[in-house]
Structure formats: C-alpha cells, structure tokens
Amino acid sequence: MTSGLRFLIAAKRCEITELQQLAHTSALVNAVGRLVHGLQRERGLTNLHLASQNAQWEAALGQQILDSETLQAQVASCFEGMNVATARPSQGARLFSRIAYALQGMAALPALRRRLRAEAWPAERATAAYVRLISSLLAVVFEAADTAADPGISRSLVALFNFMQGKELTGQERATGSALFAAGQANAVAQQRLLHLIESQERCLQVFEEFASPPQWQAWQLAQHAKQLATLERMRRVLCTASNGAPLDRQLSQVWFDANTAVIDAMKAIEDRLALDLLELCETRLAAATAELATFEALNSQGNTSRFDPADDLSFFDQASPDLSTPASALSPTAPGFGLQLDRSILELVQDQARRLQSMAQELDTVRASLSERKLIERAKGLLMAHRRLSEEDAHKNMRQMAMNQNRRLIDVAEALLSMAEVLPEPQR
C-alpha cells in the first residue's frame, strides 16, 4: 500500500514551489513600486512644465526621465525572470494578462515622452496618460495579491496594494493641483476631481489599516507630520473652494508640489518597509516549508518509525479525533509542532496538514473577500459609465449617493446594479 508520507512530501514540494514563485512575485512588486514612484514624480514635473509653459522645469524633468528609465529596466528584468511554465492556469491567466498590458504601456512610454516634451498634449491629457500606465502596473500588484495561495503573504500584498493605490491617488492630486496653480485659474471639473481623489485616498488607507500589521500602521501614523498636513490642507481649501474661473496664485504651484511631495516621500518610506516585510515573510515561510520537507524526507528514509502500525490504528474513525475544520490556532498548545518528531504516526502528520490547510483556506477566503468587493464595485462603476456616459468620478459619486439614500453598503449597491446588467439596453455610442 502506498504510504501517505509520500504524498505529504509531494504536497510540501508543491508548497515550496508556490512560495518560491511568491518570493519572486514579491520582488517584482517591490520593483514595480519603485517604478510607479518614479513615474508619479515624472507626471508631476510634466504637468508643471506643460501648464506653466516655460522651461523652468525642463532640467528636473529630464533627470527624472533618466531615473524612470533605469527603474523601468529593472521591472522589465523581473518580468523576464518570471517562470511562465509553472504557474497554475487560474493564476497565470490573470496575472500574465496584466503583465502583458503593462509591458505594452511601458513600450509606448518613450513615444509619450517625446509628444509631451514637444508640448503636443495639454496637462490634462498628460495626466490621464500617466494614470493609465501607472494603473496597469498597480493592476499587476492587485493580481499578485489575488492569486497568492498563502494567506499571510496575501494579507501583506493586500495591505501593500492599497497603500500603493493611496499613494498613487496622492500623486494624481499633486499633478492635478500643480496644473491648476500653474495655469493660474480655478476649474470646476478639476476641483471635483480633487475632491474625488481626496476621498478615494481615505478609502484606500482604511483598507490598509485593516490588513496591515500593528507595527506597520503605527509606522505610518508616526510618518505623518502635522505641519506638512496643515499646509496641504490649507492649500486644498484654496483650490477646492475657489469659484470656477477665479484667479489662482501661480507662485503656489511650487509650494503645492513640494507639500504633496513631502507626503508622497513619507508614503514611499512606508511602502519600502511594507515591501521589505513582504520579502522577509516570504523567506520565513520558505525556510519553514523547507525544514518541514527535510523532516518528512528523513522520516521517509527511515521507513516510517511510527510507534504503531497504521493498519491497526482506528483513530481515524474515532469521534475524539481533532475536527479538521478547527483552526490551527485553536489546537492544544502542548501539541508538538508540525513534523518535528520523527516517531509520530503518518496519521498524525496527515491530520496536522489537513488542519493547517483548512485554517489557511479560511483565512485566505477572508483576505480575498476584500479584493472581490473591489472588483464588483469597479465593474458596477464601469456599467454606470457605459450606460449613463459618466466619468469615473461621477459614476462613483452616483453609487455612493444610492448607498446613502437606500441605507445600504456600497458593495450591496454594486451587486444590485450588476444584477440588472442583462436587462439594461445597449449603451449609447
């Protein structure tokens, strides 16, 4: 009869392979974060250059483009190093599609820069172009979080993604406000966009707080400086309360850019910590799995040194046996660690593995629920945009208003809208 230990060893090897892929993916996420930060700064400098219509930002923009190109090469190298042959179909299809789309945007970046430096596009269109590229890169991080099979790593990725998304929205706020001040005139559409960006930042940070570890959240709280936030808040009021067409002080464009940059730089420091914590977690998980595999293989090489013959053991059918749905954290603290005693029976090892996988599955379901809600809300928002010809901000605003009027959660409104998709007429073109 085939020993169950043989399949435990096979399962552990599969787990190690997945953890190795997650470690590579985490390194990729780290590189993507650095590139996104560079592109965010490049976007802000591009907006200042285009909106002010003078050459004072030319040198800084040129240097930033060189820095971004270096970071882009690092991301491309990480993409190149991914093993596309070993990914599970359900995971690879989504993640690799996102990567393919991001690579398309990265390949078109030099042409975009040439057009913008020739001042062929206005600041608003430049912002939209950079937003699309950065969004494609952040989508890679989102899929990495959604496909991670380890719940602890998945939680870390969800926290990191939402923090990166919040930082990107802060970058968009910097770019939008810079263009407004540099243009010297208030614009109602841009003002509404600013309000939407501020609210969206707060939502991302709320999700980050939910999934971050207490030390990570505390580090973010300590990184925020009251004086910088007060300056930014005052300038937000200037931008958001000015009447449409009212004059704005062009000299404040630099002050606004610097105030937002201080916030973004503080967020970058926390983002670097989150990325480092993620890499360390992958290494810890991988080391533990490798040690367990060595234990299994040592036990297997000894021909199963159990204290009793599994063929005579009926504890599998014993009502007193541990419930496999019981989370691992609720088991007796005196029970020996998974695979640490060579004289444990194969049955005990199998039971421990089953409990562990059950606990991981339950935690993973909890983590992915947040990602699933985000997907549903985005799909519902897209439905409104298509059928009512709304902007992304207006679609989200309508959904929020519906949720308030009906005293329902935003996710409930999204599900209701999607349930009506089949009966709605084709969107106007």
Is position 368 within any domain? yes
**What integer is the mean pLDDT of 280-308?**
79
Residues 266, 395 within the same domain: no
Alpha-carbon distances of 173 from 18, 37, 40, 169, rounded to whole Å: 38, 14, 11, 6
195 pLDDT higher than 80: yes
pLDDT in tens, 65-106: 999 999 999 999 998 888 777 666 556 678 888 899 999 999
313 is a domain residue: no
- 341 with 273, same domain: the answer is no
3-state secondary structure 371-417: HHHHHHHHHHHHHHHHHHCCCHHHHHHHHHHHHHHHCCCHHHHHHHH
Q: Judge whether 292 lies within some domain.
A: no
In this structure, the answer to whether residues 239 and 368 fall within a common structural domain is no
- Final residue in a domain of this structure, among 287, 309, 339: 287
pTM equals 0.74
Residue 320 inside a domain? The answer is no
Q: Are residues 224 and 365 in the same domain?
A: no
Percent of the chain with pLDDT over 70: 78
More confident residue, 129 or 301: 129
179 and 267 fall within a common domain? yes
In which domain, by residue range, is 76 found? 4-287
Same domain membership, residue 362 and residue 270: no
Is 302 part of any domain?
no
Same domain, 273 and 343: no
pLDDT value of position 343: 40
Residue 299 lies in a domain: no
Same domain assignment for residues 268 and 334? no
User: Are 226 and 364 part of one and the same domain?
Assistant: no
The residue with greater pLDDT, 124 or 327, is 124
Of the given ranges (94-98, 233-237, 308-312, 349-353), which has the lowest mean pLDDT?
308-312
Q: Which residues does residue 247 pair with via DSSP β-bridges, in sequence order?
A: 185
Neighbours of 237 (CB within 10 A): 10
Number of compact structural domains in the chain: 2
Q: Are residues 280 and 354 in the same domain?
A: no
* 298 belongs to a structural domain: no
Count how many residues are written for the chain: 429
Q: Answer with the one of 287, 316, 350 that is the final residue of a domain.
A: 287
* pLDDT confidence tier of residue 311, bands split at 50, 70 and 90: low
Check which CATH number belongs to the domain holding 371 and give it.
Answer: 1.10.10.10
User: Which band of pLDDT confidence, cut at 50, 70 and 90, is reported for residue 332?
Assistant: very low
* 28-56 residue pLDDT tens: 899 999 999 999 989 888 877 787 666 67
Q: Which of 255, 287, 319 is the last residue of a domain?
A: 287
> Within this chain, do residues 264 and 338 fall inside the same structural domain, yes or no?
no
How far apart (Å, rounded) are the C-alpha atoms in residues 279 and 276?
A: 5
pLDDT per residue over 369-420, tens digit each?
776 777 787 788 888 887 777 777 778 778 777 887 777 777 787 888 777 7
Q: Is 203 a domain residue?
A: yes
Q: Specify burial of residue 427 (Cβ count, 10 A radius: 0-12, 13-18, 19+).
A: exposed
Which tops the pLDDT comparison, 426 or 110? 110
Residues 6 or more apart whose CB falls under 8 angstroms from that of 128 comprise: none
Give first-to-last CA distance, the chain, whole Å.
66
Report which residue type is found at 416: A
Report angle CA 60, 35, 56 to the nearest 5 degrees.
10
Same domain, 194 and 144: yes
